[in-house]
């Protein structure tokens, strides 16, 4: 063997091991870096109150933003025409512009969370406004936030859906159960995944707390962003296995995907 060959072989093996171990982390860091917001972004209650909500057509089932113009008789989106999800869902804002920047600032920039102001918009603009048909006067749901894994909580110091859900429950006069759902796995971050990848990534990722023998019949599931619906479906399936009958998913924002999403990619 030529002089220096063992050293080169050891170096190549070390580099290969480094790439295997750290490439996923480097890729995640690059994804998160692309999501970082402007440092000076305004998150005051007055700013939240000024964000333009979605004023166009939305699917009456999953709430997908399906068209720019409002309609008195909105049609089902292509995905719900095929298979309806195990919930009804609604979102206030497109995940772009002020609302999109705000959520990225909160989640990835560790900015102050205007949970109360966001919850006010969900209640006043949505529950008491354009989504009132989903919330009749005798509807007394339990608010359940979408959970995150413990290491993400430790890294961020909070779970945005929990803060939103708690604030919404207080102003709506409902009960909030922060520990009803548990997240038990995540193969990789949902950010950057698409369609079927997102669905596979959260399969069996959620369960109801083992000590709960009886689940509420009606649940409002709260999350920050609705993208493909994979997370909401996984959470809803876990709740329905435990006996929950009616689920309404509320999110602050929603990715606008209808123009290029196939029905099978829910």
Averaged over 184-208, what is the pLDDT?
Answer: 72
Rounded Cα distance between 198 and 35, Å, is 18
Q: Say how many C-beta atoms besides its own lie within 10 A of residue 134's C-beta.
A: 18
Phi first, then psi: give them for residue 92, nearest 5 degrees. Answer: -85, -45
Instruction: Return the pLDDT at 259.
Output: 46
Q: What is the pLDDT of residues 214-233, one digit of tens each?
A: 899 999 999 999 998 999 99
Instruction: Return the pLDDT at 44.
Output: 92
- Confidence class for position 92, pLDDT limits 50, 70, 90: very high
Global pTM reads 0.80
Averaged over 151-177, what is the pLDDT?
Answer: 93
Asked whether the predicted pLDDT for residue 252 surpasses 70, the reply is yes
CA 122, 128, 132, 137 torsion-angle sign: positive
Q: CATH says 80-265 is which class? A: alpha beta
Per-residue tokens: 84:
């309806």
């Amino acid at each position: 063997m030529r002089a220096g060959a063992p050293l080169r072989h050891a170096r190549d093996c070390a580099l290969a091991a480094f790439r295997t171990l750290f490439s996923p982390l480097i890729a995640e860091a690059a994804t998160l870096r692309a999501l970082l917001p402007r440092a000076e972004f305004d998150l005051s209650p007055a700013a939240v109150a000024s964000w333009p909500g979605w004023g166009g057509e939305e699917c009456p089932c999953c709430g997908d933003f399906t068209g720019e113009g409002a309609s008195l008789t909105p049609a089902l989106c292509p995905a719900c025409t095929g298979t309806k999800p195990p919930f009804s869902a609604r979102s206030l804002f497109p995940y772009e512009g002020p609302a999109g920047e705000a959520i990225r600032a909160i989640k990835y920039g560790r900015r102050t969370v205007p949970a109360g102001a966001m919850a006010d918009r969900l209640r006043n603009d949505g529950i008491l406004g354009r989504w009132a048909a989903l919330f009749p006067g005798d509807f007394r749901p339990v608010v359940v936030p979408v959970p995150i894994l413990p290491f993400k909580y430790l890294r961020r110091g909070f779970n945005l859906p929990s803060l939103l859900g708690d604030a919404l429950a207080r102003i709506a006069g409902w009960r909030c159960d922060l520990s009803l759902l548990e997240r038990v796995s995540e193969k990789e971050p949902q950010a950057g995944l698409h369609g079927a990848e997102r669905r596979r990534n959260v399969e069996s990722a959620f369960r109801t707390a083992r000590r709960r023998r009886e689940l509420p019949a009606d649940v409002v599931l709260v999350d920050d962003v609705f993208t493909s619906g994979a997370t909401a479906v996984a959470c809803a399936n876990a709740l329905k296995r435990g006996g929950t009958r009616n689920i309404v998913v509320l999110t602050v924002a929603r990715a606008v995907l209808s123009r290029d999403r196939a029905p099978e990619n829910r």
